[in-house]
Amino acid sequence: MAQLVQEYLDQIRAEHLANTDGALADYIPELARVDPDALGLSLCLADGYVYECGDSATEFTIQSVSKPFTYALALDRIGRQGVDAKIGVEPSGEAFNEISVDKNTKAPKNPMINAGAVAAVSLIPGVSADHRFDQILEFYSAFAGRRLSVDLDVYASEKATGSRNRAIAYMLQSFGVLDGDPDEILDVYFRQCSINVTSTDLARMATTLARGGVEPRSGRRVTSAAVVQRTLSVMVTCGMYDAAGDWVSAVGMPAKSGVGGGITAALPGQLGIGVYSPLLDAKGHSVRGVEVCRSLSVNLGLHFMSVTRESRSTVRASYDARPGVRVYELHGDLLFAGAEQVLRNIEQECSEFDVAILEVSRVDDIDATARRMLAGMREFLTAAGKKGFLVDPDDTLRLAGVPDSRATVFATLDDALNAADHAVSGPPASDR
Ligand code: GLU
């Protein structure tokens, strides 16, 4: 059943593979040299479990996907007031490299465009470029749960060609926004853009955001929930630059893209997504990255405006009611991430039982995705020589379209346990 989600991701990737629209970034030779067909897709659940497919192990440079993380670091180190004094939070509706500031405050409009990102670097306290950068690399690595590295060739090229960013930094200095030497700050910014990641790293980093600042595998707190809340807010409104409105309507997740071909998207409380596909649209977003995120959002019901309730701690209890008969009591709302968690538990434990009973009388609501996944669970259990029963007095989980679902759905736990006894030991003699 983990297999079910895996197959689904493989299918999404296959659907989008043929799309060759867009062009590689070519402002530096390293970006123009990558494989245009690469498509990596990773999904990291709130407990750190990762599904990945395609070129998910291919490293590419993080580029502007770095911006929310450096902004978070600035918030973490000097606090909101200090950051707000230098960087706004209003969508600019402009391209990422627009040479612009707010008319009145002279501060960059938000931290997701280059002007704001350069200002954010200047807010990281440090005695030298190396000192600032070390903190950045360490912070990103903590989000990803592994030590990240820098692509030195990309860094050298960024540094050699970054006239526009230089113009931005000097403009900010003239307005009194930049603390420090513009060239030193730019050096750090170019290095931060050149950090290598994979789509799986981006998924993990997004999940750390989705978990309110806790890296899921180690359980380590990287930054505070308040920092994450602010960072995700700015990602929602400004992360996709002048395509932010379209993105929020169609995909509905805080996200950030980069010209290296990466996109990171976080669904608070539930999961993180990372995509890598280097062919870009006119606005600098990965063409297939955007399309894949759209599909995931629609098909798995991930739009954050449709997820208004907690959906993580879905398994309330699990216990053996009889030898070979395990009961899983679910509660809350069953959406993609909750259903995935239930199915993965059942798959991992399925050698320990003959019958799994899902007690769903305390489930308030279930969406179409979770219903499809539960239907898949029954098929999986049958194929594994096991049985899957549901206790569903309110018919919340009626498995529409699934043949013989009536035979495995019961009104009470006792009814399901009786049926399980038959299944485990065969019907009593009087019934034979
Ligand atoms: N290094 C690029 C720049 O600062 C990043 C742009 C992007 O990824 O959107 O121009």
Residue 401, pLDDT above cutoff 70? no
Residue 400 has a pLDDT of 44
Ligand 1 touching residue 228 (CB < 6 A): no
Residue 427 has a pLDDT of 53
Residue 316, pLDDT above cutoff 90? no
Ligand 1 touching residue 64 (CB < 6 A): yes
Q: Any idea where the domains of the chain sit in the sequence? A: 2-303, 310-431
Inter-residue contact 143 to 195 (CB < 8 Å): no
Ligand 1 touching residue 63 (CB < 6 A): yes
- Mean pLDDT, the chain, rounded, equals 90
Ligand 1 touching residue 96 (CB < 6 A): yes
**Closest Cα partner for 242 from 227, 257, 253?**
257
Work out the pLDDT band at 404, boundaries 50, 70, 90. low
Indicate the top mutation candidate among 193, 235, 241, 277 to test ligand 1's pocket, ranked by most ligand atoms within 8 A of CB: 193
Ligand 1 touching residue 193 (CB < 6 A): yes
Q: What is the pLDDT of residues 187-234, one digit of tens each?
A: 999 999 999 999 999 999 999 999 999 999 999 999 999 999 999 999
Work out the pLDDT band at 406, boundaries 50, 70, 90. low
Indicate the top mutation candidate among 28, 67, 70, 97 to test ligand 1's pocket, ranked by most ligand atoms within 8 A of CB: 97
Residue 398 has a pLDDT of 63
Work out the pLDDT band at 103, boundaries 50, 70, 90. confident
Higher per-residue confidence, 401 vs 209:
209
Q: Is 51 within any annotated ligand binding site?
A: no
Looking at ligand 1, which residue's alpha carbon is closest to its atom 2?
63
Domain 2-303, architecture per CATH? 3-Layer(aba) Sandwich (3.40)
Q: Do domains 2-303 and 310-431 have the same CATH topology?
A: no
Residue 96, pLDDT above cutoff 90? no
Q: How far is the CA of 305 from the centre of ligand 1 (A)?
A: 29
Q: Is 259 within any annotated ligand binding site?
A: yes
**Closest Cα partner for 298 from 333, 259, 229, 251?**
251
Work out the pLDDT band at 380, boundaries 50, 70, 90. confident
Q: CA quadruple 235, 237, 242, 244: dihedral positive or negative?
A: positive
Indicate the top mutation candidate among 69, 114, 191 to test ligand 1's pocket, ranked by most ligand atoms within 8 A of CB: 114
Residue 317 has a pLDDT of 86
Nearest atom in ligand 1 to the alpha carbon of residue 158 is 1
Bridge pairing between strands 387-391 and 409-410 = parallel
Ligand 1 touching residue 157 (CB < 6 A): no
Question: Which of 262-276, 297-311, 323-337 shows the lowest mean pLDDT across its residues?
Answer: 297-311
Q: What is the pLDDT of residues 244-301, one digit of tens each?
A: 888 998 999 999 999 999 999 999 989 999 999 999 999 999 999 999 999 999 988 8
Question: Which of 99-108, 170-179, 420-429 shows the lowest mean pLDDT across its residues?
Answer: 420-429
Distance from C-alpha of 280 to C-alpha of 30, rounded to nearest angstrom: 15
Residue 256 has a pLDDT of 96
Distance from C-alpha of 129 to C-alpha of 100, rounded to nearest angstrom: 25
Residue 92 has a pLDDT of 79
Distance from C-alpha of 424 to C-alpha of 410, rounded to nearest angstrom: 17
CATH number for the domain whose boundaries are 310-431: 3.30.750.24
Q: Is 49 within any annotated ligand binding site?
A: no
Residue 245 has a pLDDT of 85
